[in-house]
Amino acid sequence: LLSICFLSPPVNTDRACVFLACSQNNECIQRAGNICGLRQNCARTDFCMGYFKLDSGNPTPVLLGCSINQAFSPNLTCNASIHFPNFIGSVCNLFFCNMNITWNQQGKQYEYKQPWYSSVTTVNFILSLFILDVKCAILVIIPAGALILLFSFIIVLKWKFYLKCCNTSYNDLGKHLEIQKVVACNHFATVWRGTFKGFSVAIKVFPTARQREFTKEKHVYKLPLMMHSGIVRFLVDGKIGNEFLLVLELATHGSLNAFLTRTVCDWACMLKLAQTLSQGLAYLHTDLKMNGVYKPAVAHCDLSSSNVLVRADGSCALCDFGSAIVLQHQPPHRYTHILKDRVQMCTLQYLAPEILEGCANLNSSYFLLQADVYSLGLLLWEILMRCSDLCTGSPVPVHMLPYETEMGHSPSLDELLIFVMEKRLRPTIPHFWAGVSSGLALHELLEDCWDHDADARLTAACVANRLASL
């Protein structure tokens, strides 16, 4: 029995799910809908999801809530799979259906036609009866006796894929890779923490429906000359059953969003974050030839504080290249589709005004790089707002996303068009920066990054140079 109290009207009355998340997971899952105690009202999908750790064959929930992944078919009542040997992932589309899962270990064997073989077991999803707090209303979700058995084949996966960059054989990978817990999730994939050959790594898993994003991101990581301190290090890639996987460097502090939420920076900390972020983007934008090897310029196209990682040494690293565009022989008509994709899939408050309105100059790919610089300006604003040395005599503000003060956590496209495009307003810069050494220079830097005219904005390389001169 679970007691839940409604503190506010649900965002989407079509679906509500049980909520459970640790501090590391809160950042990603809270975007899926409003949270009220142990209830989450889904804002993006009609699906509940749950990740369970198998402990002596018994599933223990580690992450419950609304799914933010649009990859699941609405015709499915439940979609369950074992992503890793000691975890179960489940998706279902009934009220509060993600609470309980009964795991039947005694299943029949099934032989796949693929080069690897797996055992298949039966999963019985038992939907629990929830009784709400007396102060609210008593809601019976599942009538007595109406148990819905949702059967799904579960593939026990063996790690058998060829890893070029590490020269690891199929068999070797399975021996050296260990999965521990979910650390993040986004529109396309779920990120797990684990170890590879004894070293901590991040493991990004894409469902079958997101193969396109997996392929795009892998392609960017595997471009020549992509090894740079400002870009998260790519280790290996492969396929696990019907899912696709990237193994990446693990950033100890997590996303920039999470880091700024819990950390107040001094001048040195702030400057390192800002410089390494700008240097990483400048390198990504660089068209580079070296010793007969060519790296084309790449536009990230989805920069946000959730898509930048912070390492243990306080440096930033760019990640999440599923929306990135390699600027190499792109016909002008292709950019029309790119503009539509940006608005539909990316974090709206970080999009440049010309992308929001769809009025960019499509004759050149340069507009994509300058749209990244607009996003960079907003990221720098987030970093600077958490710098104690810029707040002399004033308390350091809590971390806020761009435009969150003016329009809330998730502003709509129409709200942003009015505020950013028509009124040409930007996040507020505190007046007391003017009394601090380099405060005016930083103010000017931000304005030159998010200028309404894309051609008037600085390049990422120029931003890095200005920060280096402070």
pLDDT in tens, 186-224: 778 889 999 887 889 999 989 999 998 899 999 999 999
Q: Is 173 exposed, middle or buried (0-12, 13-18, 19+ CB in 10 A)?
A: buried
The per-residue pLDDT for 470 is 87
The per-residue pLDDT for 447 is 97
User: What is the C-alpha to C-alpha distance for residues 424 and 296, in angstroms, rounded to an integer?
Assistant: 33
The per-residue pLDDT for 217 is 94
Q: Which has the minimum average pLDDT: 44-48, 134-138, 211-215?
A: 134-138
| Angle, CA 141 vertex, CA 136 and CA 142 arms, to 5° | 150
Contact 201, 271 (CB under 8 A): no
Per-residue confidence band for 55, with pLDDT thresholds at 50, 70 and 90:
low
Q: Taking all residues of the chain, what is their mean pLDDT, rounded to a whole number?
A: 76
Segments making up each domain of the chain, as ranges: 16-156, 159-250, 256-468
Above 60 in pLDDT, residue 458?
yes
The per-residue pLDDT for 238 is 83
Contact 34, 82 (CB under 8 A): no
The per-residue pLDDT for 98 is 74
Contact 319, 280 (CB under 8 A): no
Above 60 in pLDDT, residue 300?
yes
The per-residue pLDDT for 304 is 96
Per-residue confidence band for 68, with pLDDT thresholds at 50, 70 and 90:
confident
| H-assigned helices in 105-255 | 170-176, 211-221
The per-residue pLDDT for 394 is 86
User: What is the C-alpha to C-alpha distance for residues 336 and 342, in angstroms, rounded to an integer?
Assistant: 10
Class of domain 16-156: mainly beta
The per-residue pLDDT for 56 is 62
The per-residue pLDDT for 118 is 28
More confident residue, 264 or 156: 264
More confident residue, 212 or 92: 212
Contact 243, 214 (CB under 8 A): no
- Other CB atoms within a 10 A radius of the CB of residue 85 amount to 14
The per-residue pLDDT for 107 is 42
pLDDT in tens, 369-423: 999 999 999 999 999 999 999 998 889 999 999 999 999 888 999 999 999 999 9
The per-residue pLDDT for 49 is 84
Highest mean pLDDT pick, 63-72, 157-166, 259-268, 363-372: 259-268
Above 60 in pLDDT, residue 443?
yes
pLDDT (mean) for 84-102:
69
Catalytic residue, chosen from 237, 302, 320, 372, is 302
CA distance readout (Å), 414 to 46, 178, 303, 348: 24, 45, 20, 10
pLDDT (mean) for 49-77:
66
The per-residue pLDDT for 148 is 38
Structure tokens at 145: 């006796």
- Other CB atoms within a 10 A radius of the CB of residue 466 amount to 19
Q: How many CA atoms lie less than 13 Å away from 201 in the CB half-sphere?
A: 21
Clarify whether 302 is annotated catalytic: yes
Above 60 in pLDDT, residue 12?
no
- Per cent of the chain over pLDDT 90 is 43
Which CATH code of 3.30.450.40, 3.30.200.20, 3.40.50.720, 3.40.1180.10 fits the domain covering 159-250? 3.30.200.20
Output the CATH code of domain 256-468: 1.10.510.10
- What are the beta bridge partners of residue 292? none
Per-residue confidence band for 134, with pLDDT thresholds at 50, 70 and 90:
very low
Contact 190, 81 (CB under 8 A): no
- In order, the DSSP letters of 211-236 are HHHHHHHHHHHTSTT---TTBPPEEE
